[in-house]
Chains A and B, each alone.
Chain A
Amino acid sequence: MSAPILDTYCEVVTPEGVALHLRAAGPLPRALAWMIDLCIRIGVMIVMSLLLMAFGEMGQGIYLVVMFLVFWAYPILFEVFWSGRTPGKRALGVRVVADDGAPAGWMAVIVRNLLRTVDMLPFGYALGLLSSLADANGRRLGDHVARTLVVHEPAYREHAVPPLRTVVAPTIPLQPAEQEAVVAYGERAPLLSPARQVELADLAAPLTGTHGQTGVLRLYGMANWLLGRQ
């Protein structure tokens, strides 16, 4: 293992002393989530205007109050009561959490949404975009002040059945990170195309000592050995 891998993990150490890996979301998914929310908000306003048209002046007043709520309260209420997700964020698989990985509290959510006012300056979230490009965890100004992060929900990955039961002991002792890579190969490679399996196994040629299909089989065998299969 040479240089550390570039990644968007934000590592948070919990009170139990275990590092929690949060995958910070960049500006693009967040902008898309915002667009979806915008469409929903516009939709709500159109429906409300059709409904409230029947009530004349009083309807206009209620319409404006609803507009206020849709503008200011929509993200706050969703993020508080729906574990950090607005409908747009849910569609993009991201959520708001506090920067210690815990769910974001009332105050934090209020702060980050009030400060959208500043992130929107001077037009179209330009300050927010600059801020999130400059920050390793993609936080906009409101997130900095509120101490929040927008993270990707952990995706559940398919666990493949090992294709064969042979066991091969590695010829050289492996570092934990190398073991991890071999085991990951054994669990994920069956989901890949045969050509890709060979291509990846060829990278491990110094370990397996061969190329091509034999290398793939040896690597599976080593994964089985490392997993402790008999």
Chain B
Amino acid sequence: MRQEQFVARYQAEWQAFEHWLATRGADANQARGKRNVGEAGDEEIPARYRRLCQQLALARRRGYSPQLTDRLQQLMQRGHNLLYRTPPPRWRRVPEFLLADFPRLVRQQAGCMWASAALFVIPLVAIFTLLQFRPELIHGLMELPEIAAVERMYDPSDTRHALGRDSGSNWHMFGVYIMNNISIGLRTFASGLLAGVGTIFVLIFNGVTIGAVAGHLHGIGYGDPFWRFVAGHAAFELTAIVIAGGAGLRLGFNLIAPGQRRRGDALAEGGRIGAKLCLGVAFMLFVAAFIEAFWSSIGSVPAWGKFTVSGVLWLLVILWLWRGGRGATHPGAGDAA
């Protein structure tokens, strides 16, 4: 069949399809509210799309002009985008993800999580302990101005400002914590793509820094305001860093040792797991920032009050990650969302 006959025969079909795409293709919810007055019925679209595919294949095979094949391909691509689009996100899924899918995913990656926790906690505890016996070693880890700034923040004799900061109101610090902490969490995951080295570095570095600050302040007798400040948000913040690190290690490990899969497939899977974990991590760090800005900084709450709340929060986080999503019937059913 010559091109002109081909066009003449199917032109009407293409125009109907195009018209349908233009009027009803954009938004399914909007389209549902309106009556379909066009020639092509909603339920016919998949069939019409497949006919279009066949016509495109014929046109290509018969060497019709690029103008025609381009036009058909464009139509087909629009149809393809419509039929194979990912379902729109459902907000109902958000609590389900946070309460069930996320803890389940963390447990599923338990190996990476424990490795990440070790990389973070061992340097932290080691440096802390070391500084109790050899306090002068702090000068090998931090510069003098940094040490002075930290000491100023937790000076027990200075009651003018809130705990754990030099200046700045709760709201200001909330912004600072959101910007800095969540960014660090997300970067901890992303740097796992450098064969895991980036993540390992970030974890050890954070462990050493936190261990150094805690060890130094505890050693010089500033422990009380310091522990009262960090107790509140530690549960969410430290756990979130470990989980972000675990996600980064998973990604790096999939790059190094893809196992029975192609490296690209393994990486893509590591990325998908990491993205989900990062959503949870961002949520945890958001909660941590909120606690840190509005609760941890209150200097008037006595130590027992802070530590009780801290204990409850730790218990919540552990229970959440340990029991969350157990007994649910559909593991990872909504993967695409």
B269-312 CB mask vs A (1 if < 8 Å, else 0) is: 01110111011000000000000000000000000000000000
B interface with A by C-beta (< 8 Å): 1-5, 49-50, 53-54, 56-57, 60-67, 70, 73-74, 76-77, 80-81, 84-86, 89, 168-176, 178-179, 182-183, 186-187, 189-191, 193-194, 198, 251, 264, 267-268, 270-272, 274-276, 278-279, 336-337
> Which one of A21, A176, A180 lies within 8 Å of B73 (CB-CB)?
A21
Asked whether B271 lies within 8 Å of A115 as measured between CB atoms, the reply is yes
Asked whether B65 lies within 8 Å of A102 as measured between CB atoms, the reply is no
- Residues in A neighbouring B272, C-beta threshold 8 A: 107, 111
Q: Report how many residues on chain A are interfacial, defined by Cβ distance under 8 Å.
A: 61
CA gap between A177 and B77 in the complex, in Å: 23
- Who on chain A is nearest to B276 by CB? A107
CA gap between A226 and B2 in the complex, in Å: 7
Asked whether A118 lies within 8 Å of B65 as measured between CB atoms, the reply is no
CA gap between A178 and B62 in the complex, in Å: 11
> Which one of B77, B173, B275 lies within 8 Å of A61 (CB-CB)?
B173
Asked whether B53 lies within 8 Å of A61 as measured between CB atoms, the reply is no
A133-173 CB mask vs B (1 if < 8 Å, else 0) is: 00000000100111100000010110100000000000000
- Residues in A neighbouring B85, C-beta threshold 8 A: 102-103
Asked whether A68 lies within 8 Å of B179 as measured between CB atoms, the reply is yes
Asked whether B174 lies within 8 Å of A61 as measured between CB atoms, the reply is yes
> A214 at the A/B interface (Cβ < 8 Å)?
no
> Which one of B1, B61, B183 lies within 8 Å of A176 (CB-CB)?
B61
Asked whether B191 lies within 8 Å of A68 as measured between CB atoms, the reply is no
Asked whether B278 lies within 8 Å of A110 as measured between CB atoms, the reply is yes
> A58 at the A/B interface (Cβ < 8 Å)?
yes
A interface with B by C-beta (< 8 Å): 14-21, 56-58, 60-65, 67-68, 71-72, 83, 100-103, 105-107, 110-111, 114-118, 121, 141, 144-147, 154, 156-157, 159, 175-180, 183-184, 186-188, 226-229
- Residues in A neighbouring B175, C-beta threshold 8 A: 60-65, 67-68
CB distance from B149 to the nearest CB of A (A): 19
CA gap between A68 and B276 in the complex, in Å: 19
Asked whether A105 lies within 8 Å of B63 as measured between CB atoms, the reply is no
| CB-CB nearest 8 A-B residue pairs | A228-B2, A64-B175, A176-B63, A61-B171, A61-B175, A105-B86, A57-B169, A117-B190
CB distance from B87 to the nearest CB of A (A): 9
> Which one of A14, A65, A175 lies within 8 Å of B179 (CB-CB)?
A65
Q: A83-B81, A118-B190, A121-B194 are in contact. List 19 more A-B contacts (CB 8 A).
A: A14-B80, A16-B54, A20-B76, A57-B169, A60-B175, A61-B171, A61-B172, A68-B179, A102-B84, A107-B272, A107-B275, A107-B276, A114-B190, A141-B193, A144-B264, A145-B193, A156-B74, A228-B3, A229-B4
